[in-house]
Amino acid sequence: MKTLFLRTAALALALGVASAADLRIGLIGLDTSHVIAFTKVYNDPKAPDHVPGGRVVAAFKGGSADIPSSATRIDGFTKQLTETYGVKLYDSIEELARNVDAILIESVDGRPHLEQFKRTLAAKKPVFIDKPLAGSLRDGLEIARLAREHGIPVFSSSSLRYSPEPLAPKLEKIGAVKSVYSVGPAEYEKSHPDLFWYGIHAVEALYTVMGPGCLRLVRTQTADTDVVTGVWSDGRVGTMQGNRNGYKGYGLTILGTKGVTTAGEKHSYRGLTVEIMKFFQTGVTPVPLDTTIEILAFMEAADESKRRGGAPVAIADVMKLAQAR
């Protein structure tokens, strides 16, 4: 981590970046509402959740013709970014990367993330990759390998990791965490493993409390609901429930040795955008890539459990299969 910090600091000096406020941020993929939300937070000092430290100044359009929520929204988001915030469009990722200090890969489709990341490597800039890190565990592993090989700081997370209400005070009151139940929406997108599209939010919230270390899991699926229960290496149990009908909010129920608490029912980008800016300024990744990779493995293992009719699946087996391909 210290090496990444020093590399990023040296890079800032080479680029003539005098202070954190001078950071120029580039967007890759303009087909998600996140590009508007994040740009407003960083560029508008009057925004309620304004985060100082840099501005979004550049963008590469991107987009996926086979995903309606990408194809039908990209032009509107592009127009808003250019006309409201004066963001400059670039014809290539490579050119964009050369002209910014930090990069947000925001494509709503996880499949192009690996190729988009590859095209930033030569510029040696810190990169935040919005959820999911990739469209498959295999691609996620390759992103992690390339990041380490080239010394590029990479951070990926759902906004649900950074709840508007701090978890620490609640966790202190209930003792050691023994189990967690995380609830959230889980709509599917046929181009992605089931939970990669929206279920990832509830999975990330689960991992925020449980941390890495899941050994195996089982999945129960109905038309409206997914329930995935994992057993961690120390015997703790974590469950994610994804809903497609009825309640579509987020929530955590946490059982400790001294009591039970609930959290995470509200949603905000504030916590995530603060962490992204800290990451861009320091080059220190707040969520280890190994943890993000395990989240992908958890979700792919859930698909494998479904294929096996709800049979238990070991995380290590899914990892081994992805590494062998």
What single-letter amino acid sits at 43? Answer: N
Query: Is 247 within a domain?
Result: yes
With a cut of 50, say whether residue 8 has pLDDT above it: no
Query: Is 158 within a domain?
Result: no
Examine the domain organization and report whether 20 and 123 are in the same domain.
yes
Examine the domain organization and report whether 102 and 212 are in the same domain.
no
Examine the domain organization and report whether 232 and 189 are in the same domain.
yes
Query: Is 232 within a domain?
Result: yes
- Quote the pLDDT of residue 117: 98
- For 236, the domain range is 163-267+297-324
With a cut of 80, say whether residue 266 has pLDDT above it: no
Q: Which helix (H) or strand (E) holds 65?
A: none
Q: What angle do CA 196, 201, 205 make, to 5 degrees?
A: 130
Distance CA 102, CA 48 (A): 23
Region at 104 (left for phi over 0; alpha for psi -120 to 50; beta for the rest): beta
Examine the domain organization and report whether 122 and 169 are in the same domain.
no
* Mean model confidence pLDDT for the chain: 92
What single-letter amino acid sits at 104? Answer: L
Give tens-digit pLDDT for 112-165.
999 999 999 999 999 999 999 999 999 999 999 999 999 999 999 999 999 777
- Using the 8-state DSSP alphabet, how is residue 217 labeled? E
Give tens-digit pLDDT for 62-71.
999 889 889 8
Give tens-digit pLDDT for 94-118.
999 999 999 999 999 999 999 999 9
DSSP E strands, the chain: 23-28, 54-60, 88-89, 102-105, 127-129, 154-155, 177-185, 214-221, 225-232, 237-243, 251-256, 260-263, 313-314
Distance CA 268, CA 257 (A): 30
Give tens-digit pLDDT for 271-292.
999 999 999 999 999 999 999 9
Per the DSSP assignment, residues forming a β-bridge with 254 are 180, 261
- Compute the average pLDDT of residues 20-49: 92
Q: State the CATH number of the domain containing residue 242.
A: 3.30.360.10
Segment among 9-23, 168-182, 241-255, 293-307 with least mean pLDDT: 9-23
With a cut of 90, say whether residue 3 has pLDDT above it: no
- Both tokens assigned to 190: 């046929």
